[in-house]
Structure 1
Amino acid sequence: MKIGNKARLAAMTAAALASVALPAHAADHHETYQIPDPVPGGFASWGELMTVQNMLDARADAITAAAKADPAGDHLGNITVSAPAHRIDVYWKGTMPSTVTALLTGLPVGNTVQVHDAPYTRTELQQATDRFTTQTPAADGTRIVSITPSEHADGLTIGITGNTTTARRMETILGSTITTTITTDKAAAPITIDWNRDHDISSYFGGGWWYIHENGFGEKACTTAFAVTHTNPIDHITRNEMLTAEHCKMEGSSGEYVTDMRNGQDGVNTAFRDGASVVHDWARYEPSNSHTNFSNAIFRGPVGSKTASPTKGSYGTYQGNYICTGGAMTGEHCMLKVNAVNAVNVTKWFDENKVWRGDLADASPENNTSAVAAGKGDSGGPAFGPLSGSNADGVIAKGILSYGSYQVTCGYTKYDNGTWPEQTTCYNHVGFIPITTVLEETGDTLITG
């Protein structure tokens, strides 16, 4: 299910942004917050865990880039990262070029890169995935709802609702040359909510409420993710803009709608949509007046918190990574482990018109099938890696929350001036689009500090 968004935006020059001090913000960087969850992987602290993970992720990023740049073609199948094991596992098909083998050594003592033969490249798996997304539902209602590459790049897992025997007879599955495993699955659901209040003020942080409005379509509330700088190709002006989820709009709307940032003065802080991707489920919003700006920080901690952390940078997302989520509806959840990358999910069905989201990562609480990863209203919020157990040390951007699956019981509700007016739906799994995918697609720069 989708998770959340709020605003309408449009323009200040780069020079003005550089010379004008940002307005005071409700969130106080000096307030402290400590992650209450136990540190996974046997590490003594969150800082120790993230130091190792970020070091391994940086090397995995370099291997990924070298694979893409290989003149003979990208033969990378998958990469997994395990901070507890101090290890990167690279699944590769065929002969590895020297530009990649040069990156297999040189890590700090105790950390290793292991290479495994892969039956398929990630390109081959993606091409097969694209074919499966064209499959229409069977007469008995059986349909494909998710497609996930295996960890070892040796096939795809096809999640279906309905009858597995019927699924095996589907044209795309019968004709596939890729090894497939069919499982019954629960369709992913967008994590949005139709109404709530926003208590953030400009300069807006990630992890706060958005309210998106379009005349004739009503309103929808989601969560902000990360601020970026974007250079408009028409007027060539660079502006601070905010990322959230594409699906955070009323069904049937054009997407080019007016939105309101509600903090007690309807319409004072507004923004407009400046770009989006349906497949990758991101949208970018541009300030429309001098009252609106976006900051290099995200909210931290529980629902209603005023605590924030600066965004310090970004890394790629790999299976085995530990992350946190920070939606406005359910607050912060850590100890989430990435189960899959490059996955696709169908999030909605309207008269058999499916909406596929692609290149997603999926994460869930490690060894806990009843804990919450995200809830309805968290869509568009940040997925991140904390640099330590304290908010003061900042975060590494990892992605934008897209969907939830595997519903679990929870008591989370929207925090509104000390009251809790309505309950939400929560999920044990959360899907997100990696921030590196978004930045590569847009050419935008993450605002850090």
Structure 2
Amino acid sequence: MALGIVIAAAGMGTAQAASAPDPVKPQTTRPVEHTGPVPGGYASWKDLLLDQQKMVKAADRIAAAVARNGGGYAGVVAAPENRELRVYWKGKPSKAINDLVGQLRRDVAISVLPAQYTARELESEANRLIRANRDLITSIEPLQDGSGLAATTASVGATRTAIAGAAVPVTLSQGVQPKVASRWDDSPPWWGGSVWGTPSPACTTGFAVTYQGATKILSSGHCASVGQTAADPTGQAIGTVTHSNSARDVLLIGTSAGGRVFNNPVGNVATEFSNPVIGTTSSVVGMFVCTSGGFSGTLCNIRVAAVNVTINVGWLINGTVRAEQQAFTNAAGGGDSGGPVEVPNPSNTNQVYAAGTVTATDFSTQVPCTGYRPGGRVCTWRIYYSPWSNATTAFPGIAIITG
């Protein structure tokens, strides 16, 4: 896969406050829904999302058991189109894992499949390889079936020589050197999905959280530095950036924040709406998510293709998720950095779960933009986002604010 990873922040001057849309703060809710054919012969997206929710919860239970007891865990893939969760394991699972899988099978079909390497072995080798070849490797990720690693590079020949002694198989794909890539008039308490900058509008707010006893807004670490003042496109101060972690691409803005996110579309007061956040969700390969960038609007039918991906954007960002719009239309673009990645509640699509925040786009997958300034930004069908686990890793004790 060709790859040009670009942080999804708008460049300075790509939008001007004087010409920006000026929607009101909408209290109404509408469903956040996937569109297009439903995979796997499901009668509706609701039915698929209900099965997906069960699979993600089962994957979380297995991951928690692995964290406590260790073992040969390699990866997990949600395959709702096949009505099953696939768990890959090196060696023979322990009795505790077998008992847990047996219990989980009451609600979810689970296949336990053999793996060559564990997740820890692959993560260790991925970290070693990308740090030793920063000038060559643009991204690296573990294969969930435990068979090895997949990497993108600007020069296949040179990189193949450099990693000839890799401890695991590595699949290389040609790429390019990556670069770091209302909603428009929000007010306190600030919501996710609104545009912000320091001061020019360039990024999107993610989710309202609490951290160290204070309310804050989560967004992308590359959008600003600690101590800078965040403002909306009208110049109204949101708050000060209090914490940042570049290795996980997350930051926190100290401010009054509410547990809602703006959703579709951008710049039309009559049709814009917002939705309450009701919790968080893990990111599992195979699951479907939506994005809600302040520039692009709300976009769905985006499927998780890889987790625990390390991307090289001039510095290394760890633990990201690669996701791809299944109809090869816009998944996110310039200005959407930090914006919500969400999963509709299958039981009530007026509500959403927080999955993470938009980090980067892949310039080799450019498509027409949606939303604000569609002709003045770059948008792509393949994106990378920082999952909720990146926020909890960077800021232990962080908690989502529900609406």
Q: Same fold (TM over 0.5)?
A: yes
1:64 corresponds to which residue? 63
Looking at structure 2, the residues matched to 61 and 363 of structure 1 have their Cα atoms a distance apart, in angstroms, of 19
**Amino acid aligned to 2:300:** C
Q: Which residue of 1 is the match for residue 366 of structure 2?
A: 408
1:272 is aligned, of 206, 215, 240, to: 240
Q: Report what 1:48 is aligned to.
A: 47
Q: Assess, with a 3 A threshold, how the Cα gap between structure 1 residues 190 and 137 changes in structure 2: closer, same or farther.
A: closer
User: 2: distance between equivalents of 1:57 and 1:137?
Assistant: 33
2:221 maps to which residue?
Answer: 246
Q: Is the 8 A contact 1:327 1:378 kept in 2?
A: yes
CA distance in 1 between partners of 2:151 and 2:297 (Å): 31
* Equivalent residues of 1:407, 1:428 under 8 A apart: yes
Q: CA deviation at 1:388?
A: 4.1
Is the counterpart of residue 384 in structure 1 residue 381 in structure 2?
Answer: no
Using the TM superposition, give the Cα deviation of residue 385 of structure 1 relative to its aligned residue in structure 2, in angstroms: 0.8
| In the alignment, structure 1 residue 447 sits paired with structure 2 residue 397 | no
Q: What does residue range 44-193 of structure 1 map to in structure 2 within 5 Å?
A: 44-70=43-69, 73-107=70-104, 111-136=108-133, 143-162=136-155, 164-170=156-162, 173-191=163-181
CA contact (8 A) 2:34 2:45 kept: no
**Count of residues in Structure 1 that have an aligned counterpart in Structure 2:** 380
The one-letter code sitting in structure 1 at the alignment partner of 2:7 is K
- The structural deviation recorded for 1:412 is 3.5
CA distance in 2, matches of 1:106, 1:278: 39
Could you tell me how far 1:31 is from its partner in structure 2?
A: 4.3
Aligned residue in 1 for 2:302: 336
Q: Measure the CA separation in 2 of the matches of 1:31 and 1:90.
A: 37
Q: 1:428 to 1:117 in 2, by over 3 A?
A: same
CA distance in 2, matches of 1:299, 1:329: 11
3-state DSSP of counterpart to 1:84? helix
Which amino acid in the other structure matches residue 225 of structure 1?
Answer: G
| Deviation by residue 1:321-355 (Cα, 9 ceiling, x = unmatched) | 111111111111111111111111112xxxxxx31
Amino acid in the other structure paired with 1:30: T
2:320 aligns to what?
Answer: 360
How far apart in 1 are the matches of 2:222 and 2:71? 31
1:109 shift after superposition: 5.9
Question: How has the CA–CA distance of structure 1 residues 447 and 129 changed in structure 2, closer, same or farther, with 3 Å as cutoff?
Answer: same
The question of whether the paired residues in 1 share the 8 Å contact of 2:197 and 2:223 is answered with: no
d(CA) in 2 for partners of 1:226, 1:330: 17
Q: Confirm or deny: 8 A CA contact 1:226 1:296 kept in the other structure.
A: yes
Normalised TM-score (structure 2) = 0.87
Cα displacement string for residues 177-220 of structure 1 (whole angstroms, at most 9, x for unaligned residues): 111111112444433xxxx993111111111101124xxxxx46
3-state DSSP of counterpart to 1:128 = helix
CA distance in 1, matches of 2:392, 2:329: 31
* Local SS of the residue matching 1:436: helix
Whole-angstrom distance in 2 between the partners of 1:40 and 1:375: 25
SS in 1 for 2:251: strand
**Structure 2 vs 1, CA of residues 104 and 258 (structure 1 numbering), >3 Å: closer, same or farther?**
same
The CA distance in 2 between the partners of 1:156 and 1:177, in whole Å, is: 10
Does the 8 A contact of 1:274 with 1:284 survive in 2? yes
Instruction: For 2:68 and 2:369, locate their aligned partners in 1 and report how far apart those are by CA, in whole Å.
Output: 48
C-alpha distance in 2 between matches for 1:45 and 1:153: 32
1:147–1:284 CA distance, 2 compared to 1 (3 A): same
Per the alignment, residue 27 of structure 1 pairs with 25
Q: How far, CA to CA, are the matches of 1:300 and 1:108 in structure 2?
A: 35
Equivalent-residue separation in structure 2 for 1:146 and 1:110 (angstroms): 36
Query: Percent identity among equivalent residues?
Result: 24
Q: Deviation per CA, 1:216-264: give whole Å up to 9, x if none.
A: xxx4610111111111xxxxxx121110000113xxxxx2232242353
- Larger helix share, 1 or 2: 2
Q: For 1:102, what is the secondary structure of its paired residue?
A: helix
2:250–2:390 Cα contact (<8 Å) kept = no
In structure 2, do the counterparts of structure 1 residues 432 and 26 end up closer, same or farther at CA, with 3 Å as the change threshold? same
Residues 221/284 of structure 1: CA separation in 2 closer, same or farther (3 Å cut): same
Deviations 1:144-183 (A, max 9, x none): 1111211311101121112x2222211xx12211111111
Structure 1 unaligned blocks of 5 or more: 6-24, 214-218, 232-237, 250-254, 288-292, 348-353, 415-419
State the distance in 2 between where 1:89 and 1:421 align: 39
* Distance change >3 Å, CA 144–CA 277, structure 1 → 2: same
* 1:60 CA drift (Å): 0.5
Cα–Cα, structure 1 residues 50 and 270, in superposed 2: closer, same or farther, change >3 Å? same
Counterparts of 2:184 and 2:307, CA distance in 1:
32
User: Are the structure 2 counterparts of residues 51 and 137 from structure 1 closer, same or farther at C-alpha, using a change threshold of 3 Å?
Assistant: closer
Closer, same or farther: CA 220–355 of 1 in aligned 2, 3 Å: farther
Counterpart contact for 1:375–1:427, Cα < 8 Å: yes
Unmatched tracts of structure 2, length 5 or more? 1-5, 11-22
C-alpha displacement at 1:82, in angstroms? 1.6
2:386 match: 433
Partner of 1:285: 253
**1:227–1:296 CA contact under 8 A, matched in 2:** yes
Q: Structure 2 vs 1, CA of residues 36 and 87 (structure 1 numbering), >3 Å: closer, same or farther?
A: closer
Q: Which secondary structure does the structure 2 equivalent of 1:360 belong to?
A: strand
Q: Distance in 2 between matches of 1:186 and 1:428?
A: 17
Q: Secondary structure of 1:133's partner?
A: helix
Deviation of residue 100 (structure 1)? 1.9
Cα distance in 2 for residues equivalent to 1:203 and 1:337: 31
With over 3 angstroms needed to count, the CA separation of the structure-2 counterparts of 1:187 and 1:430, relative to structure 1, is farther
Rounded Cα–Cα distance in structure 1 between residues aligned with 2:166 and 2:304: 27
